[in-house]
Structures are given as structure tokens and as C-alpha cells.
Chain A
């Protein structure tokens, strides 16, 4: 059944559901809402509604369900796969005003909050109270609702895991407008199908998250990082599984090439503390005593030197951390700034195959004659590989891109990897998902979508469609 096109009556009714300044339509809607950080996919919603509560979302959904109007939820729009673009128009629900902390439960170590709170606000809120929310995706202005809906990963996954590991419970508005609570403050749960886990990473296609109960930890009192130079990228990456296999427990193992550091220097207008070597690993350790953390540092430093690192640099004070991690945080934007257009491959492979995959990107770089810089979370096997357009014509670009993605995903498949480690599938990667997962798995996913959203109103055209 075709979607209902919003008319004057719908506008009037929808407008009555929220205060006037939280309702926009047509030309009033800012250009920002027509795309996310992927670029390349643009479409405006017909209506934009900034919501404050579960009830408001429920009222909107009830109406949309009755009238057959598509609905897309949007957090901060920092997604990288076009997931929050309203490609069918309809209603966009913006959660960015739902920023309340509902409860910090110190006895249960949980934080209950609304989905629009930004990751940076959440992190500093719990930190001020001596707690720690470990997931640490690069983009701190993303919302927690967006992070849950993409199962965002980030820099601390090696030791602490990803967003999924910190979601205890969710309040969800279903496509019918009904409200359900799944999971809770409980630590264990074997009560039926894991609906909460289905909702995590579902990119707004199964329901709308309006409240979340997160697991938090006591804040580790001390942390330090180490920047480790190597004579080649191969040498750096080959060291990663060895570090993982040693007794060390870093929170993060990131890899970076000199070339990426130079882009970042250009982008930030600030020199990196060391660019003499072709490749680097960046590790962080945390813990409750300085002695323990320094001990880990020393042992790992010795280990890396034995494994052929050129040196090990200490990144211990706030100033040193911000000079190194500040640059790391800018890589995506810096590579973007170095080219006319780019597309990203967020593959994840078993950690033992990271080196092989990166070497393969160099082969493809030569074969296709394009620049393919990369960086990423070497410690968890999640790589961010960027295909840069530079001076290619429209036609060449399309062809090269398709060929590069084909090669990368086939290689990932061969190595036992997956299409997306943390950015999701959204619009941009759905063709590849179908190809990699195959008919049986995709039809199971379609079945799930059909149960949750029989009218295909929730974020249509994403993940599977």
C-alpha cells in the first residue's frame, strides 16, 4: 500500500500534539535534517516534530499508524550510513530535546535517561559523580538513543565492549503507538526472547526508544596511553594480536599511519608530537592505582620493544592525552578534508586478520589507482577504510567505488568478518548486507521486521527493504 501523503488535515492534527515551536513543516525545516554525516543521500521529511516525552511519541505513532505515514527518528544526525534520512518523506521525530536523566541508581549501578542526551553530556554527568560509562565512540555529540540504535562501538571496546553491553532496559514505542518496557535494572535475564537486544542496533526500524536504563561502572581512578612507533604498518599491525594475546588488558588499541597524522595536522593546524615513523599504535590502560597502570605500561612497553617497535612514548598527563587523542578524534574529518568526496568501509574482521586486511587495502589502492587511507580500532578488528575520490569523474568514481566495496566485503567475508563493526547498515550498506548474509538470514530479518512493523512505517528503506 502506498504511503499516505501528508495533507492540511494531518498538519493540523499533528501540530496539536506538541507545542507550536516544536513543530515544523515544509520549507521551515532546516537543510541539516535532509541528510546525515554520510552525505550523498538527501531527502527532507514533510514534518519535523521535536518531542519531549514517551507519551508524545506514542500519540504521533498512533496517528501515523492509523494514516499509514512513514516515521523516521533522529538523534543528532551524526550517523555515517544515511540511516536517519527520511527517504520516503513523512514525519521525522527529533529526540534532541529529550535530555533528562531520570535516575542515577547507585545501588544497582544504573542510569536511567531519555534518548536525546548527548554522549559527551552523559559521560561527564556520570564522571562528575565518580562513575563511568565505558562506550566511547569518536563522535561525542551523538545521542545515546542513536548510539543504542546503531550499537555504537568506539575506542574502549577492547576491554569494555560496545554499547550493547551497557544497555539493561529500554522503553520503546511500537509502530502502533503502544508502549513496552523491555529488560530492566536486572543484571541477568533469561525471560524469553531477547527483544531488548533486537532493538539495539535496529536503526529505528523496529521501534522508537524513548527511555534507556544503562549499566555504569565505578570510575577507574587512573589512565595512561602509549604511542608506539613502528618501521612499517605491517610491523605495527602484526604486533596487535600479540598484545591481545599477552597478559595486558588495554582499553584501546588504535592504529594510524603517518599519512593520516599529516592530514590531521593540516586539518587541526596543530603538529602531532611525533611523525617520524610510518606507522603507530596507540594504547590506553586504566585502573584504580597509578602503580598498577604504570606496571601495565612498563610490561607492554617491554613487550612491544621486543616485538620490534622503534620506541614507546608515554602519554600520561591531560595535556599529552589531549594532544594525541585530540588528533585521533579528528581523523575522519581530516581525511574528508583531504579529498573532494569519500566513502567509508567500516568492516570488522577477526583480530588475527587485521594485518592481512590492511595489506589488502594497499593492494586494492594500487590496483584501482585511488587513495585508500585507513585507521581504526585494531584491537577489536574494526577498521575504517576510506576510498577517496580526489580527481575522478562522476562515472569513474561510481565504478571505482563499487569495485572497491565489492573487493573489501568479499575479502572481509573470506576472513570471517562482517560488513559493519559499528556504524550500521542504514541506507548505504543494505545491498552489501543482503549479499553477505544470504537469503535465509535476510528472510529471518524480514520476518522480524514484519512482526514489529507490519505496515513498514518505521524508517522504511533501511537495513533490509
Chain B
């Protein structure tokens, strides 16, 4: 089974700063990491490859330094990857991102399965996976907690929909969004980091893909108009309750009811 995994480089910690004037995330000088949710889909891809053979390639859209994210997937075991990078892609919302990704996927050799993480920790929209499948015209399924190959040309996917578990059979090629916390992602290997083959990565720019109309990409191609981005207010209020055990129990229950944590 040949698998593509979509990954993204995100800020290294949750203490991100937003430029108060432009509303853009301040990325300079801050450490970055592979989107934590993507680690689960990479692990899933790796274990599918161990079971059924094939290849795992990662694909990411981002600035040139996003190559680091691809490198890390190879240190974790991927065979290689594609970096989609061009100024024209900058400022993309999820629609423009998924369109650009779909163009890159068209340029890549054939695949059976595309895996995406549940969401990213910076954008948090959880849209790119299903939009990409629309652009590619392939079926997609989300919240996957396991994938099996039981019948030629199909995969069997188990989904966790919170109130129920659904098992579905989907024809290949298709796209699966993998849930978080479903496995223990393997760690990047130092040995592999020293053995990355020269031709493991390909870079694609606007010139390399079929649709070169700039208005379909980046800020111009985005349908979402971001008015303001701001870090959420941190709520670390503390309250000390005093009283006897039963008074305390009543007070706690009142607080939980007021906050609608319990009915």
C-alpha cells in the first residue's frame, strides 16, 4: 500500500505571540515542531507499511524551513516527501491550502491512501483533510482509530464518533483523517537522520504544478477573511473553598452546575 501523509510544521509551544498590528502569528525566532496530531497519522502509516508493505511519503506546504518537518517524518521512518513552497501559497486558508495540496498530489506518483491528522495545533480548523479529498474527488472518512486491509481494493476503517463506534469499508484510493491519541508515535531515530537518501525529498513551486493561476492560491485564493487573530485569554482563576465536607460538596456542585459542567 502506498501512503501519503499530510503534515504541517507548527509553533513549538503553545505560548505563541500574535503581532498586535497585523494579527499574524509571530513565527520568527520561535521554535517549531511537527504538528502533534500528525504524529499519530505517521505512526498509523508506518504500522500499515509494516503489515502490508508499500511506501510512506509525507507532503507539506509551508515556507522553505518546513523541510525540517519532512526530515522528521523520515527520521521517524517515512521513505521521503514533497515540500510545496512558494510565496504565492502564503496566507492560505484551509480551502486554498487543500487546493494547493491537491495540485501537488496530482504531480506525485500514484498512491492508495492519503492520511491526515485530526487537526493542527495552530490553525485548529480540522478542515484540510476533507477538503483535500473533495478536490481530489476521492472518498474520505474522519475520526479513524484503526485501518485494516481485508479485501482487495478496500480498507476497513473504525471510526470513533464519541457516542458510537462505526466500522466502514471504503474503496481505495481514499483519504482518512486519523484521530488523536490512538497510538504511541515512534520517536525520530538519530541513525535514520544520518542516512537520509539524497533524493528523499522533492520541492514543488507554483511553476511545477498544473494550475498556475495565482488567484487560486494563498491569500488571493482564500475564501475566509480573517478579521483578527488573538491568543485566547488564559483562565487560571483559582478559588479556595472552605467549610465542612458537606458544605464543600455543596459548593463544588453549585460551581459545576453554574459552569454547566453537570446538569
Contacts and interface: CB of A to CB of B under 8 A. Distances in A.
Interface of A: 21, 226-227, 270-274, 290, 301, 305, 311-320, 323-324
Given A271-B184, A273-B185, A290-B31, A313 B36 contact: no
- Closest 8 CB pairs between A and B? A313-B187, A312-B190, A271-B184, A314-B188, A301-B190, A311-B191, A319-B36, A317-B33
Nearest to B33: A317
A311 B189 contact: yes
A89 to B, nearest CB: 26
Given A316-B33, A318-B13, A311 B190 contact: yes
B183 A274 contact: no
Interface in B45-97: 75
Contacts of A316: 33, 188
A273 B186 contact: yes
Nearest to A327: B184
B184 A273 contact: yes
Interface string B1-32: 00000000000110000000000000000010
B190 A271 contact: no
A85 B77 CA distance: 52
Given A290-B31, A305-B190, A317 B184 contact: no
Contacts of A311: 189-191
Interface of B: 12-13, 31, 33-34, 36, 39, 75, 183-191, 193, 244
Interface centre among B36, B189, B244 (most CB of A within 10 A): B189
Given A305-B191, A319-B39, A314 B184 contact: no
A314 B31 CA distance: 16
A64 to B, nearest CB: 28
A273 B190 contact: no
Contacts of A323: 184-185
B187 A315 contact: yes
A173 B185 CA distance: 52
Contacts of B34: 317
Given A271-B183, A323-B184, A313 B33 contact: no
Contact of B189 (A271, A272, A290, A312): A312
Contact of B187 (A227, A305, A318): A227
Interface centre among B31, B190, B244 (most CB of A within 10 A): B190
Contacts of B193: 314
Given A270-B184, A271-B183, A272-B184, A317 B189 contact: no
Contacts of B39: 319
A30 B186 CA distance: 44
Given A271-B184, A319-B39, A323-B184, A313 B189 contact: yes
A226 B188 CA distance: 10
Contacts of A227: 187
Contacts of A301: 190
Contacts of A226: 190
20 contacts: A21-B244, A271-B184, A272-B184, A273-B186, A273-B187, A274-B187, A301-B190, A305-B190, A312-B189, A313-B186, A313-B189, A314-B190, A314-B193, A316-B33, A317-B12, A317-B34, A317-B36, A319-B39, A320-B187, A323-B184
Contacts of A324: 187
Contacts of B191: 305, 311-312
A316 B75 CA distance: 13
Contacts of A273: 184-187
Contacts of A272: 184
Nearest to B32: A317
B184 A313 contact: no
